[in-house]
Structure 1
Amino acid sequence: MFIKKNEILLNTRYSKQLEELTDEEFEELVSRADNYIVMRTHFDYTQTKNPLIQQSLKIITWRLVDYLYYCDNELDIENRFEGIASESIGDYSYSLKSANSDVGIGLTGDDELDMLLDALTVGKQKPTYFNVKGSARKRGGKCVF
């Protein structure tokens, strides 16, 4: 657990609802959030001593508890996953989000939360490519940087 219950209740949007949960139900939400962090970042941060990472983990945990509580208690599940492309009222029309939204597997749709999780993710990084041209090939492909 990266954060204490009272810290979650202080920051959450659902403080009244979360206070009404039993200790077991609350611990299950926090456990799911911790598991999500490990699975998404590909690293177990339980032993970290870095204060910046610890602060990020606290923010990530309470935001994930909010996210999981919302997902568990959303009544209109079909629309939540489909997303709304646009809304029209009379002659007025407004596009809420692109049909090519980035929300998908492993993404919450919360930009700050996804950014923090991405920053702590360990694993494959985007490769850097470079080309070896003419004269370097003649020297046996050795490049000097």
Structure 2
Amino acid sequence: MTLCDAMQYVHYLSPTEGGRVHDKKMADEYPLALPPGSVLRQDLGLLGHAPAGVVVERPHKKPPKGELSFAQRLYNQLLSPLRVVIEHAHSGIKRLHMAAGTLRLRGEWRRDPVMLAACALHNLRVRSPLRAYRACAPVKLNT
């Protein structure tokens, strides 16, 4: 589990777990102490997890054999671009292909350093002044 800001900088990385451990169980096992009034954007895997004093923004889940209301769909659409930041951070972490694939090294103690290195490289890339690109001047086509 990771916690990042709007600039995709990873501030928190939980200890790694096997792929079959549910997100909610990990959130309960490794609780975060967030400042009161902070906004926590979660996905549906953390349904039911709400730290005290924190504003939780979570999309609405479609009920079984039912539909979302117009307001719920609109809320999900407005929340989606804000939540995509963490998905971009995860893809940046997985640029280190060792973190994206199956780790075949023996011993569970090797997973944590691999993820730590992947997050450190991602944070280095995010904070790099070379990351910012300049907008190109529009190209004029002669017709």
> Structure 2-normalised TM-score?
0.31
**Structure (1/2) with the larger strand percentage:** 2
**Structure (1/2) with the larger helix percentage:** 1
Which structure has the bigger radius of gyration? 1
